[in-house]
Amino acid sequence: MDSSSSASPHPDVVSQFTGSLLVERFRGTDFVPPSSNTVVSSKDVTLLPQSNISARLFLPQHTPRNRKLPLLLYFHGGGFLVSSPFNSLHHNYVSTLVANANIVAVSIDYSLAPEHPIPAAYEDSWAALHWVASHRKSPGPEPWLNEHADFRRVFLAGDSVGANIVHNLAMAAGNPDNELDLEILGAALVHPFFWGSHPTGSEAMDPERKASVDRLWPYVCPSTPDQDDPRLNPVAEESPSLAWLGCGRVLVRVAEKDILKERGWLYYNALSQSGWLGVVEIHETQEEDHCFHLEDLGSNKAQDLIQGLADFFNRDMPPLL
């Protein structure tokens, strides 16, 4: 991953951005402790003490004795500025996903801007992926992964900027020079945060919301504020070929009222035509906006999205004996 650095912008972010992506610096900072119930257990671990990278791990209470479970690395949204695996929004979501999909999950707590501008979030996430990979061939530091994770079925998933991180990790994993000792089976991008300098039709029709999104990347990535940065716009002319994406299948989820929707469709179409040898699919939720499912996990459309992810993670799984 890119290891360049830059000076941090002024740390006082109170209400820089509006709309569904960001509202204020401290939204979603409520801390929910890890828990154990009849369905899912969770615990917090420090992955790399020297970098202060941590995560919340989730494990179904009733794990099958005769096989290991798919392993998910989850990356939360929040505009690279807010949220964490430890707040109620993402804790409840990942716990629900683990219960429905019967998987092991590692929810990554990457560094946030503006104190840690891009590329810090990507670097932390890449380091976390290597930490997970350290469990593949021999026992690593985390017993839950050693005992329950199937390293033949590793998935990446994220919402919004978390989905952006997922794409960039998969691209890095496809680069043979990066020497990642782990194969990624699939990647799920839910309402991915992609953008660009040339507006699509729906973006042009909502100039106020477009202006809000336009301000985000230059703020979190002051060293390279170009809206066509390949990390932000994977379909830009100067971006690396998507044919190098380092996983076997991709699921893209978009929402009808999300200003980022058309970027998700552009990504899907570009990946389909890139020469990449995997399988990509896309699903659009009607009459919903960006990351609607996080606010109401019990709604029918949220349940449909979660079940779609569960099916994606468990596709081609052998039956229990």
289 tagged catalytic: no
Angstrom distance (rounded) from CA 28 to CA 85: 10
15 tagged catalytic: no
What φ, ψ does residue 216 adopt, rounded to 5°? -70, -55
Angstrom distance (rounded) from CA 183 to CA 115: 32
Mark residue 79 as left, alpha or beta (left: phi above 0; alpha: psi -120 to 50; beta: remaining): left
Report helix, strand or coil for 151: strand
The mean pLDDT value for 97-107 works out to: 97
Q: What is the pLDDT of residue 20?
A: 39
Tokens 């946030």 — which residue? 112
Contact indicator for 194, 268 with CB cutoff of 8 Å:
no
Least confident of 38-42, 202-206, 244-248: 202-206
Please identify, in words, the CATH class of the domain defined by 40-314. alpha beta
What φ, ψ does residue 101 adopt, rounded to 5°? -95, -15
320 has a pLDDT exceeding 70: no
pLDDT tens column, 244-265:
999 999 999 999 999 999 999 9
User: Taken in order 110, 58, 161, 264, is the CA torsion positive or negative?
Assistant: positive
Catalytic-labelled residue, pool 95, 125, 160, 212: 160
Taken as a whole, the chain contains a residue count of 321
160 tagged catalytic: yes
pLDDT tens column, 224-249:
999 999 999 999 999 999 999 999 99
Q: What DSSP assignment string belongs to 158-184?
A: EETHHHHHHHHHHHHHT-GGG--S--E
What φ, ψ does residue 280 adopt, rounded to 5°? -120, 140
Contacts of 67 (CB under 8 A, 6+ apart): 150, 318, 320
Could you tell me the CA-to-CA distances from 11 to 8, 14, 139 in Å, in that order? 8, 9, 40
Q: Which amino acid is at 195?
A: W
pLDDT band with cut points at 50, 70 and 90 for residue 16: very low
Q: Which secondary-structure segment (H or E) carries 300?
A: helix 300-314
pLDDT tens column, 108-117:
999 999 999 9
Q: Which amino acid is at 208?
A: E
64 has a pLDDT exceeding 90: no
Longest dimension (CA), the chain: 58
Angstrom distance (rounded) from CA 250 to CA 312: 9
Report helix, strand or coil for 143: helix
The C-alpha R_g of the chain, in whole angstroms, comes to: 18
Angstrom distance (rounded) from CA 5 to CA 120: 8
In the chain, what percentage of residues exceed pLDDT 70? Answer: 90
Bridge-based pairing of strands 247-255 and 279-285 is parallel
82 has a pLDDT exceeding 90: yes
pLDDT band with cut points at 50, 70 and 90 for residue 202: confident
Tokens 């990504």 — which residue? 267
pLDDT tens column, 168-195:
999 999 998 998 999 999 999 999 999 9
Q: What is the pLDDT of residue 3?
A: 38
Angstrom distance (rounded) from CA 13 to CA 81: 9
Chain-wide mean pLDDT for the chain?
A: 90
β-partners of residue 59 are 41
Tokens 């081609």 — which residue? 316
